[in-house]
Amino acid sequence: MSSQAPELLPELLLASHLKTLKLPTFLREHDKLARQCAAEGVDHVRYLARLVELELIDRERRMVERRIKAARFPAAKSLDSFDFTAIPKLNKMQVLELARCEWINRRENVIALGPSGTGKTHVAIGLGLAACQKGLTVGFVTASALVSQMMEARDERRLLRLHKQMAGYKLLIMG
């Protein structure tokens, strides 16, 4: 038996425990961060605090990504990429206020009306992305797709299930 085997055992055990606890960022970053903290003279509590912070940041990022994927946006269009100068009648401050998502918690509705090509869907998706980033569940569906889903659900006797799914969203965007 080599002298290296006993040194590998704690690493393997740690890796196994971190996988079991579902701490992928810990697993990926602990060694690199330990070396960095040792070089900086950082104590073990601050090392662990940094490691936990990395895990929390990464976990939040993954949750936002899952919410965005679950929303089924046709494209990822943020408000940052919207050209407010192209539509001067659109109140930028009001849109940015809506992006704070307080209206969703108050259970209020927002209706965007206007001719084709004026950015209604872009703004709606931008508000949906903002809601996802704030931890809210979002769904995006076109009106025609919703009618099709409802007719199909009715025919298959699962209309109640579709209704529950739609009611589960904090924000439902109909584009």
Q: What is the pLDDT of residues 76-130, one digit of tens each?
A: 899 999 999 988 889 999 999 999 999 999 999 999 988 888 899 999 999 999 9
Model confidence band, residue 1 (pLDDT cutoffs 50, 70, 90): very low
Q: Are 77 and 126 spatial neighbours (Cβ–Cβ below 8 Å)? A: yes
Residues 90 and 133 in one domain: yes
Domain with 14 in it: 5-68
Give tens-digit pLDDT for 36-89.
999 999 999 999 999 999 999 999 999 999 999 999 999 989 999 999 998 888
Residues 86 and 62 in one domain: no
Does any domain span residue 73? no
- Average pLDDT (158-170) is 94
- Average pLDDT (138-163) is 95
Model confidence band, residue 6 (pLDDT cutoffs 50, 70, 90): low
> Which single residue is written with the structure tokens 């992928």?
24
- 8-22, 64-78, 130-144: which range is least confident on average? 8-22
Which of 18, 38, 68 represents a domain boundary (last residue)?
68
Q: How many residues does the chain have?
A: 175
Residue 100: which CATH number? 3.40.50.300
Q: Are 130 and 99 spatial neighbours (Cβ–Cβ below 8 Å)? A: yes
Residues 84 and 20 in one domain: no
Those residues whose C-beta lies under 8 Å from the C-beta of residue 50, and which sit 6 or more positions away, are 33, 37, 42
Q: Are 48 and 30 spatial neighbours (Cβ–Cβ below 8 Å)? A: no
Q: Per the structure block, which two tokens stand in for 163? A: 């209704």
Q: Are 148 and 116 spatial neighbours (Cβ–Cβ below 8 Å)? A: no
Q: What is the pTM of this model?
A: 0.80
Q: Are 99 and 79 spatial neighbours (Cβ–Cβ below 8 Å)? A: yes
Angle, alpha carbons 169-59-51 (nearest 5°): 160
Residues 84 and 157 in one domain: yes
pLDDT of residue 4: 55
Which of 44, 68, 92 represents a domain boundary (last residue)?
68
Please give the tally of structural domains in the chain: 2
Give Cα separations from 57 to 24, 37, 68, 83 (angstroms): 12, 19, 17, 30
